Structures are given as structure tokens and as C-alpha cells.
Amino acid sequence: MFLKHSFQGTGINQVLKESKVPKGSFYHFFPSKEDFALAVLENQVEHIKRYGQKYLEEFNAPYLDRFTAFFENLMKPIAQSDFCVGCLVGSFGQEMAALSPPLRQATSGGFVVLKEMIRDFIEKGQAAGEIKGSLNPEVGAVYIVSAMQGSIIMAKVEKSSEPLDIFIKTSVGMLMA
Amino acid sequence: MFLKHSFQGTGINQVLKESKVPKGSFYHFFPSKEDFALAVLENQVEHIKRYGQKYLEEFNAPYLDRFTAFFENLMKPIAQSDFCVGCLVGSFGQEMAALSPPLRQATSGGFVVLKEMIRDFIEKGQAAGEIKGSLNPEVGAVYIVSAMQGSIIMAKVEKSSEPLDIFIKTSVGMLMA
DNA sequence: ATAATAATAGACCGGTCGGTAAAATTAGGC
DNA sequence: GCCTAATTTTACCGACCGGTCTATTATTAT
């Protein structure tokens, strides 16, 4: 619901109704809606981390194939939901960075996770001679994470996978030696 | 207020109080909050168009310098607001694409404007021999618009200009012949 | 068995939301 | 100067918001 309706557009009452959880139970475990969102966000970041391990590290394939597989799988839910959902890190970041310091800090942490995943990946790919050595890993990682977030927004808005495909293919082209 | 608090986070009453406009007057001219947001968005897109004309077309300088000037000026308000505001097209798109078909369509139009500005710019720069000819203008434009949107989110979240600088510099590098 | 604690349950709170109603005021055409 | 239409003003609406409250039921430790 956070993904589809955003933070402010998601009512606690809706969540409770949908999940059949009484209000008292909810507020027994979560001090506030904001705190709940922080937990959901953390869970999502863990999910992304697992994907990174699975496709960027453990997946035994050329580095650029890993890259493609990682993002294709990470972004699968977007098209599957008819472009109603995007990335929680980007969504919370965009919407709440200026309104909730805790959410800003948490999304910032999410971005750091994403960026470091890509940065490490670039460094290892460079060491393996499969990624252009002239690329600064930190800079390239920030740029790729930016492009990913933006392409997700464009995909949602246009209700089309094209921006996602362009993101993956162009990024791969940028990484190629 | 839309830029800082997002669509759903901005109350009509706040807007009316801030602008000292009585409620009746507001609803005399705007059928709904959504319709008002559409008008604000349209105004913002016009603003972007003017910037495009000024810096990408009329500005008599090398193409890559135009590119830098365009985005540096377009993004100035972000840092100036202490990273509390971003891009209305991206913000409305991210937040409302799945919730309001009219807003989705309007933001989609905004993205088309942005994309076509960049695409035309790439084509002209290529004709002038200042932009890498092997780049597909359409694809490059989509990628750059994506990267711009994402870098704005990152900048807001990290409260830092770094993602914006990286966006501009890396994009210029990508465009260079 | 019992006391203490954890968890469930939903009615209830003040406040705000977007939006409406209808009267009061202003402005413009004749 | 007068009628009409445009605009302003504000009180008001039901719905919903996030969050609190108190009572009750499970669970655990003693």
C-alpha cells in the first residue's frame, strides 16, 4: 500500500482493515505510522540486499549479465503491477525527505546500500576486466542509482517498460569496456 | 508547497491561508484540488520549456556548455531551498501516477516535453559535431531525463549537491564525442 | 493457582481533510 | 442608476486522519 498510495496517501485504518489487525495491536508494536514505515522500509532494503547478493555476487555469469539480471528481477514487480508500484526507497525519499527527518535518514541509508552494492560490483567487474576501467566506481554507482530511480518514475508515469529497458541497456553500454 | 510537501501532503486550507485567498474564491476558479494541481503543473512545465529555450537553444555556446548551464540553472532552487524542493513533474509522477489518471497523464506530458527538449538538443549537437554521433538521441534523452529525476531524489535525501553534480558531469561525459 | 505481563479489541478523541452552501459584495453593461 | 453576473466571504458539512483509552483476553513466570 505504501508503494502504490505513497506514505501520506496510505491510511493506518486502511492498512489495519486490509491486514485484519486491530488498532490496539498495531499501536502496541509501533509507536506511530512513521515508525511503522521505517520498519517497512528497512524490510525492503533487506530485500534489495538479498537480490544484490544473489545476482551481483553469487550469480556465476559475466558481470554485465549479472547487472542485467539484477535489475530485471528487481524491477519485475513494476510491470507486473501494471506500473502501480515503484521503489519504496525512492518513493519515501521523494515524498518525505523534507517532512520527516527519520524517514529521510532511513531512505538515505537505503541509497547508500544501493550505491555501495553497485560500486563494489563495478570495482570487481573492473578487476575482472569486464567493466571499463576508466569509470570511477563511486561516481558510476551514484549515476546508475539515479538513473534507476528516475527510470522507475518514468515507467510509472508512462505505464511502459521502455524507460526501464533503456536504463538497463544504456547502463550496460556505459559499463562496457 | 506542492514541491515541499507533495500533493497529498499539501492541504488546500494551508494554501489558502498562505496565499490569503478565501475558500470560496478558490473553488470558484478550480473545480478541485486535483484540477488546481494540474494548473500548477502546467505552469511548471512552461517554466521548464522557457529554460530549455534559453539555455539549450538561444545560448550561444558549445553544446555541452549549454547542457551544463541548462541543468545547473534548472536545479539551482534545489540547493537554495536546502534540498526541500525537487521537480514537480517527478514528484507528482512518483506520488500520483497510480492514484490520479489526470495527474498521471499531465506528468506524462511533462516528461515528453523534457525528453523532446533533450532529444532535439542531442540531434542538433550531433549535427554540429559536438555530441557523440553514435548515441541514439531518443534513448539518450530518456536516459538523461531518468538520471536527472533520480539525482534530484538522491540530492533531496542526502541533502547534498553531489548527486546533481555527478548527474551533470557524467551526462556530459556520455555526450562527448 | 495466581500474579504479572503481553497482546487484542474497538470505541472514541480532537483535528483536519476536500468540498459545499448561500449570503454579501463588487464590477460591468445598458 | 440599475440590473445582472462575477466574485468574495465564511460558516458549515460528512468523512477520515493519526492516535489514545480502557477493558478484556492470552500467555508466561512463579
The pLDDT tens digits of the residues spanning B12-35 come to 999 999 888 989 899 999 999 999
State whether the beta carbon of A11 lies below 7 angstroms from any atom of strand D: yes
pLDDT of res. B6 = 96
Return mean pLDDT, chain B: 96
- pLDDT of A177 > 90? The answer is no
pLDDT of res. B24 = 87
For an interface test with B, the pick among A149, A151, A164, A168 (most B C-beta atoms closer than 10 Å) comes out as: A149
Check A157 against B84: CB less than 8 A apart. no
From B145's Cα to the closest Cα of chain A, the distance in A is 7
Q: CA-to-C1' distance for A85 and C9, Å?
A: 32
- pLDDT of B177 > 90? The answer is no
Which residues, at least 6 apart from B169, have a Cβ–Cβ distance to it below 8 Å?
A139
Q: CA-to-C1' distance for B31 and D11, Å?
A: 20
Q: CA-to-C1' distance for B28 and D3, Å?
A: 22
How many other CB atoms sit within 10 Å of the CB of residue B30? 15
pLDDT of res. B118 = 98
The pLDDT tens digits of the residues spanning B108-155 come to 999 999 999 999 999 999 999 999 999 999 999 999 999 999 999 999
Which A-chain residues 132-151 have CB contacts (< 8 A) with chain B?
A: 139-140, 142-143, 145-151
From B138's Cα to the closest Cα of chain A, the distance in A is 10
Residue A138: band (very low, low, confident or very high) from pLDDT cuts 50, 70, 90: very high
The pLDDT tens digits of the residues spanning A99-123 come to 999 999 999 999 999 999 999 999 9
The pLDDT tens digits of the residues spanning B66-121 come to 999 999 999 999 999 999 999 999 999 999 999 999 999 999 999 999 999 999 99
Exposure on the CB side of residue A111, measured as CA atoms within 13 A: 33
Task: Report the percentage of chain A scoring pLDDT > 70.
Answer: 99
CA distances from A150 to A13, A144, B17, B128, B136 (A): 31, 10, 34, 29, 19
Q: What is the pTM of this model?
A: 0.94
Q: C1' nearest to CA of B25: which nucleotide?
A: D8
